[in-house]
Structure 1
Amino acid sequence: MDTTTDPAGSTASPADTFAIGGELTVRRLGFGTGGLVGTGYWGPRHDDPEHAVALLRRAVARGVTLIDTADNYGPDVAEELVARALHPYPESLVIATKGGVVRTGPDVWHIAGRPEQLRAMCEASLRRLRTDTIDLYQLHRLDPDVPMADQLGTLQELQQEGKIRHIGLDSVDAAELRQAQEIAAVASVQNRYNLLDRASEDVLELCEQRGTAFLPWFPLGHGALTGGTGAALAEVAARHGATNGQIALAWLLHRSPVLLPTPGTGSPAHLDENLAAAGIALTEEDVTQLAGPA
């Protein structure tokens, strides 16, 4: 059987990997950097940034090959931590970031999709990440005041200039995804999706049809799936000697081969727990039980 070797030297079967854009092969269970910054993705999480640096390095040492971040996590903080911890980047490591939303306070978000804004944000991310090319650059939100063709056209220009390799979208519906795919090659979608929130099933189906990566945000329901969330989840977890959160992640990996969960955390123990979910093989009985309320 073909396998992929990670930086730690272990191997992953094809079922455990996905090729973003048909060429960037990653392990499907990645790491999100939202947990490295403060509450509401604002400010640093720890007084000592070395804690976050060590956690990022631990994730890669444990075989993570997909790091998902954003320019407004902090803002700027998460991208800077990624570069501090992991640059120069291993050849097998894929860095995904996002632009298109400006933050001026903990709960103050401004969608900014004008071409000059997108270009400036992408170039700022390149500087913070210390790279010439961003592997996957995701439009954090579509700007309703700017034609989609102008927003995606700017990303295509950056792609042609070699500043980004692949284009992704965040928080789109199926109609928007279809429209976007008529304009540009969309390598990924990032929508909220987990055991408790399956509203994007139609988007997931479209991603499956077109071989588009789907990075579910809040894969653990913003923490709701790590606690006592329903008897079904707890019973399946007990059968496997696993935690509720591990089963929630295993369900995503089982649900579709295009799903690439990137749970975030600020805890080394929680990181290890999350990554262990990749080794849980759910049975059909488990899946049937989890198909109802979590």
Structure 2
Amino acid sequence: MNIFRTIKEYKDWRNSLTDEPTIGFVPTMGFLHKGHISLINESVSENTYTVASIFVNPTQFNNPEDLENYPRDEKRDLELLSAAGTTAVFIPSVKEMYPAPVTRTYTFPGIDDVMEGALRPGHFNGVAMVVSRLFEIVDPHVSYFGRKDFQQLMIIEELAKNEFPSIKIKGMPIVREEDGLAMSSRNARLTEEERETAPLIFEVLKRSAQLIQEFTPQEVCRHCERMLAGSGMIRPEYFIIADSQTLKPLSNKADAAHATAFVAAWLGKVRLIDNYELF
């Protein structure tokens, strides 16, 4: 497995490929789990080469404490990537990625001003900034993202459509722990008691799929927020049922052909997000 820490090193390798390969790309912020590896496995099965990146992107953290506390373990990450068959890993420094301040502002009307976009100002601008930069450097044919970050996936699909039309974006299913908790690098920061409580988030999401058969979306959301808060440990930030195509919150079930329930909640100092397709 090749490890590159500069753009020049990666580009030299990329330009040396003469067999008209397909390159699959999995961008990550490290501290990998089975969800990340499922993306690697998909890429390895579909492409000649698979490239992963490890870069904790400071521009998408609107909370400095969250950036400082984001878990890191490069040695373990490299072992996991190698075992999964990754061809190359790009691990740039912040200076390598952003040698000069990036002044461009990205906007995605209708999908970047709700849920995560509304609560984390500048977050999706930072996401678009780093993904755009990585796409320019890595030059992949396909890039893989998990559906846990559903809204982020929609942002990246829109970015690729507008600026990188030759890159196919492939969204992959959420990978969960045996008790239903969506896998996330942030789970490692949960205390033992918080970790025992965390699966309630998925239980409530599943319950919303039953409730939507009898109640309005607003009634379901209010009930689900009460269920989460009733744990005494989970502090729901939002529970929203929205059109899966537009992310517009639903007033009536009949307003959309497909709907998804979205949740963001705090457990102690850890913020978790998840989603569940309702219909």
Q: TM-score, normalised by structure 2?
A: 0.30
Query: Greater Rg, structure 1 or structure 2?
Result: 2
Q: TM-score, normalised by structure 1?
A: 0.29
